[in-house]
Amino acid sequence: MVKFLLRRLTVAVLVALTVLTLSFLLTRLSGDLAISIAGPSATAQDVEIIRQAYGLNRPVYVQYLDWLFRAVQGDFGDSYFFRDRVSNLIGARLPITMTLGLVGLGLALIVALPLGIIAAVRENTWLDRTVMMVALVGQAMPSFWLGLILMVWLGLNLGLLPISGTGGPEYYVMPGIVLAFSAIPSLMRLTRSGMIEALSSDYIRTARAKGLSRLSILVKHGFRNAAIPVVSIAAVQLGFMLGGSIVIETVFAMHGVGYLAWESISKNDYPVVQAVVLVLALIYIALTLLADLLNAVLDPRLRTA
Amino acid sequence: MMPSGDRSAESGEGLNRPAENASLLEVENLRVTFGGTAAVRGISLKVEKGETHCLVGESGCGKSVTSLAVMGLLARGGKREAERLAFAGTDIRNYGEREMSRLRGDRMAMIFQEPMTSLNPAYTVGSQMTEVLRRHRGTPRAQAVDRAAELLGRVGITAPGLRLGQYPHQLSGGLRQRVMIAMALMCDPELLIADEPTTALDVTVQAQILRLLAGIQKELGLGILLITHDLGVVARIADRVSVMYAGEVVESGPTAELFGDPQHPYTRGLLTCIPVPGKVKRDEPLGSIPGIVPRIPPGYVGCAFRDRCPHAHAECSGEIPRRAAGPGHEVLCTLPAGWPEGRMGRQAA
Amino acid sequence: MSGAVLPGQGAWRRLLRNAGFALGALIVGIVLVVAILAPWITPYDPFAVNLEARLVPPSFMEGGTAANFLGTDQLGRDYLSRLIYGARISMIIGIATVITSGLIGTTIGILGGFYGGRVDDVVMFLITARLSIPVVLVALAVAGLLGSSFLLVILVLGLLLWDRFAVVARSTTMQLRTLDYVSAAWCAGSSQMSVLMREILPNIATHLAVVATLEMALAILLEAALSFLGLGVPAPLPSWGLMIAEAKEYMFFTPWVILVPGIALFVLVLGVNLLGDALRDMLGTDLSR
């Protein structure tokens, strides 16, 4: 177990370093970053000034090591556009994105788990097929389009929710629903297949032979075992949601890190873009690590091995 | 819906009379079908209090289905019908899942063939044992744990305290089957159904488990319905035997009577399959019955064994009468009593 | 032991799956034919601006005209014609991305599965690293830096979406490697290359086909999202995502402007997913993760 964790941790650190390097390389893709920063209307002199100011005249490996060294300490430099520390910007925006992600995941679980369980219990009935159709529909729904439709329908026509912006809890509902939609199909399919497997197992027959209540059979004995893979997928899905927050936050004008990234891309503010890519990737790595830990806690075969 | 058999049986008015001296388990004309296959075709059997009744037959003959049907644990798609299905004198044919779940684990318990997979991998042995008692009796946790430890000791597990905190994957197959037995005994059941409890185990462990079952049966006086394909086992622990073939009981009787005077060609065939030291000569091959148990469609008439029977004749494809062959001994065959002399074609036993 | 399944159920399920397959094939087939025949079947030039007839509703709605079946957009361009050309963009993006990412992912996966050991460690590392990169964000950043173009979208998506191909190719190759006939070919002195090409590739092809449909659906959705955010396929190309973005300003007054391209996108992706589902059921394997 300790060995497994150490190995897992080593991989996580290596992946994190790789992502650090990639996010540095990302901004060097265009060849000359100074020209990109200066924008199309800048003169050669402006570009030269920018090059000096941001240290872009140094050799690339010096720039890389400097960036790496600072990034590890949580220093992502200054934003060109917002005239603030990048770390401050991200620190201020991250709670909004995290809240949104958790709302989305929460909604997804509330819908996906019961539906997945019901579909499994009623396997091969019209109910099961309906649930699976819902999964297919959810998979095919473009999230930004669904967002717009909800804005028109719930926001304008019914006037139930604020159409867009950042604010109190009500502002998280529509984007949360849209995010949940993207995670529901895979969570539901996995719950269903896990439950079908669990329900056909010998230990469920034992539980029934013991005369346990239906709830205990389905949830305590069935879902407990089906939940193990669901937990890791839920963590991964949260990572994907945060990574995809740029689309949802832009649609709903929510000022989280995704919106920050989009603004920064449009303003050629590369230190911010680079930092957001890095932060989201690191969160994803942390989440997968967390999922593995949770798995080990949930599955005694892993824990005591 | 839980996967369970449809319990559509004829109304059981007047049959629902718990009697003082009723048999523990009475099954009359039980039929189970899965779609186009008749798995059990009208079997009848009784288990008396404190008696071990063995149900014997090859794999696929419907023994396990019979036991699951009695417990109301048929897989989805299984349809059960019976003229009588009574537990301690009470007709349970129309019991729903809720009523059955009150009986199961409490008054009738079951152990299965696969000890490796029959315990839930996610919970400790202790948790799985105590939940039976907590469910049926509402026993507080501490007392339930004491009871579990006591029973683990009784089924021959040393250091029960340690085992209670362990997970199934940390135990061997033999230990898991002992745990299953102890778990089945938690509520002091009157009936224990054991579906091939030793098949998946090592030979040495098999003997231990059987000795354990026999000991418990004597000690606690419970009725056991033991399903097995091993006649050696039957000879050692059964009071009564029913031999099943293709969904029917072809012969039944007290153990000594049936082994001493087997009447059905299938029973005789089975008996030649076990080596008896001294009786079978060294180089002589053991007997075997050619062919396999056929799949029987509903509405099949005649003896299902006739295609494999060396003594089959024209009458075998008609209705087969059930005839008495001794005290409590019945056989489902057209051959007359004492047939080896009468109309035997070839050697049998 | 615990009983058989009703024979009728299997047949039912197969029928349903076939129905799904038929529907999926129909949708994808129609879109493909429309995309190929676009220049010949469009009623108007999709780029022709007509400021006299802007935001005309579809002909089946109030105020619609027979001239423009699906109405016109904010610049008076015929919506149906743009939709038809948009099908081209979606199909090209979907197919090209699948080919690119499929080649990368399959190669990486087979290498890991076939050689195992250190090679496999590296492959697993690559997959893990790739999964931790937020696709949309990186694609947008690259487009922002290099300037968005049709080719860039294909390239970026192709370079980012190979992970599932690699995962599936790796695990299926691993299973195959231990099978008798592969070992037999191995022992009979076949070269590594010929074992890979003749024994392994054909046998994992069906699994890869399932992944291909999933990835194609994903690529189509991602292109639409990128174009919607203004950093995918550049205007005036009629990408469905871009059409939705351009119509966004008018959606509160004339909701059909976002419904038309949105439904087209939804139906196409549904069709591709239906095909994938039917394929997966046929194989009886679960790759839905």
Note the pLDDT tens digit of each residue in B211-262: 888 888 888 888 999 998 888 888 888 899 999 988 889 899 999 888 888 8
Identify the CATH number of the domain in which residue C46 sits. Answer: 1.10.3720.10
Q: Is residue C222 part of a domain?
A: yes
Q: Which comes out higher in pLDDT, residue A79 or B239?
A: B239
Q: pLDDT-based confidence at B335, cuts 50/70/90?
A: confident
C271: which 2 tokens? 């069709």
Q: Is residue C213 part of a domain?
A: yes
Q: Is residue C79 part of a domain?
A: yes
pLDDT of residue B20: 58
pLDDT of residue C154: 93
List the domain range (segments joined by +) for residue C241.
29-287
Nearest CA in chain B to A297: B122
Q: Is residue B69 part of a domain?
A: no
* Lowest-confidence region among A85-99, A169-183, C66-80, C133-147: C66-80
Q: How many domains does chain B have?
A: 1
Question: Which of A14, A148, A239 has the CB atom closest to C248's CB atom?
Answer: A148
Domains of chain A: 86-304 (1.10.3720.10)
Q: What is the pTM of this model?
A: 0.82
**CB atoms < 10 A from the CB of B261, how many?**
15
Note the pLDDT tens digit of each residue in C143-196: 888 888 899 999 999 999 999 999 999 988 888 877 766 777 767 766 777 777
Contact C129, A19 (CB under 8 A): yes
Residues of chain A contacting residue B180, judged by C-beta atoms under 8 Å apart: 206
* Lowest-confidence region among B133-147, B250-264, B276-290: B276-290
Q: Is residue C228 part of a domain?
A: yes
Contact B146, B203 (CB under 8 A): no
Q: How many domains does chain C have?
A: 1
Q: Which comes out higher in pLDDT, residue A177 or C42?
A: A177
Angle of CA points B249, B252, B256, to nearest 5°:
150
Using the predicted structure, report yes or no on whether residue C5 has a pLDDT greater than 60.
no
For the residues B312-328, what does the mean pLDDT come to? 83
Nearest CA in chain C to A137: C270
Q: Is residue B173 part of a domain?
A: yes
For the residues C277-282, what does the mean pLDDT come to? 79
Mutate which of A123, A195, A208, A217 to disrupt the B interface (most B C-beta within 10 Å)?
Answer: A208
Q: Which comes out higher in pLDDT, residue B168 or B301?
A: B168
Note the pLDDT tens digit of each residue in B73-119: 888 788 888 998 999 888 988 888 888 999 999 999 999 988 888 99
**Cis link prior to B285 (omega < 30° from 0)?**
no
Q: Is residue B137 part of a domain?
A: yes
Using the predicted structure, report yes or no on whether residue A36 has a pLDDT greater than 80.
no
Amino acid occupying residue B141: R
- Rounded to the nearest angstrom, the minimum Cα separation between B114 and chain A is 8
Distance CA B49, CA B20 (A): 11
Q: Which of B68, B62, B8 is nearest to B40 (CA)?
A: B62
**CB atoms < 10 A from the CB of A304, how many?**
12
Q: Which comes out higher in pLDDT, residue A104 or B8?
A: A104
Q: Is residue C160 part of a domain?
A: yes
- Rounded to the nearest angstrom, the minimum Cα separation between B36 and chain C is 8
Can you list the alpha helix ranges (DSSP code H) found in C239-255?
A: 240-247
> Are β-strands B223-228 and B52-56 bridged in parallel, bridged antiparallel, or unpaired?
parallel
Q: Is residue B139 part of a domain?
A: yes
Contact B131, A212 (CB under 8 A): yes
List the domain range (segments joined by +) for residue B154.
119-186
Q: Is residue C127 part of a domain?
A: yes
Question: Which of A140, A142, A190 has the CB atom closest to C289's CB atom?
Answer: A190
Note the pLDDT tens digit of each residue in A177-230: 999 988 999 899 999 999 999 998 999 999 999 999 988 999 999 999 888 888
Q: Is residue C146 part of a domain?
A: yes
Distance CA B248, CA B55 (A): 11
Q: Is residue C9 part of a domain?
A: no
Region at B286 (left for phi over 0; alpha for psi -120 to 50; beta for the rest): beta
Q: Is residue B162 part of a domain?
A: yes
On the 0-12 / 13-18 / 19+ scale of CB atoms within 10 A, B142 is exposed
Q: Work out whether the CA dihedral A205, A211, A214, A218 comes out positive or negative.
A: negative
Distance CA A94, CA B37 (A): 62
Is C7 an interface residue toward B (CB < 8 Å)? yes
